[in-house]
Amino acid sequence: MVRKLIVKLMYVVWALKQLKEPTSYDKVLYNGKTYYIKYGNPNWKLDGIQAQKKKEDFKIIRSLKRDIEVFKQRYKFQMSSWYSIDTYKKPLFRRISYKSHNNISFYNK
């Protein structure tokens, strides 16, 4: 029961850290103009620009509404996809399994 609470808290912290990361349909500022992200990761396709851009090339225009939606999406993703894995027979303070697409751990000892 304690592990489940700790995992949920870890997911909240992880989701909060994700607020600074770009997502599809984010409004961004690139070369002084506003664009929307169509898709991508780690290279992002901006609506109206042919070449894909790295996240360092543009600035995300954040708003309270956007941050709430991103937080809910990320937290829901963890709860629906990883919660049963992270709470099943793992030590109390073991890291969460999914941190990013290239940082996944199924360590159960």
Q: Is residue 107 part of a domain?
A: no
Q: Is residue 85 part of a domain?
A: yes
Q: Is residue 109 part of a domain?
A: no
Percent of the chain with pLDDT strictly greater than 90: 65
Q: Is residue 44 part of a domain?
A: yes
Per the rule left: phi > 0, alpha: psi between -120 and 50, beta: everything else, 30 is beta
Tell me the pLDDT band of 2, cut-offs 50, 70 and 90: confident
- Domain that residue 75 falls in: 2-99
What global pTM score does this model have?
0.82
Q: Span 8-23, mean pLDDT?
A: 94
Greatest alpha-carbon pair distance for the chain in Å reads 51
- The tally of domains found in the chain comes to 1
Q: Are 108 and 28 in contact (CB under 8 A)?
A: no
- Mean pLDDT, the chain, integer: 89
Structure tokens at 93: 């303070």
Strands (E) in 1-109, as ranges, are: 27-30, 33-40, 43-46, 53-54, 59-60, 98-100, 103-104
Q: Is residue 20 part of a domain?
A: yes
- Residue-wise pLDDT for 49-96, tens only, equals 989 999 999 999 999 999 999 999 999 999 999 898 888 876 766 777
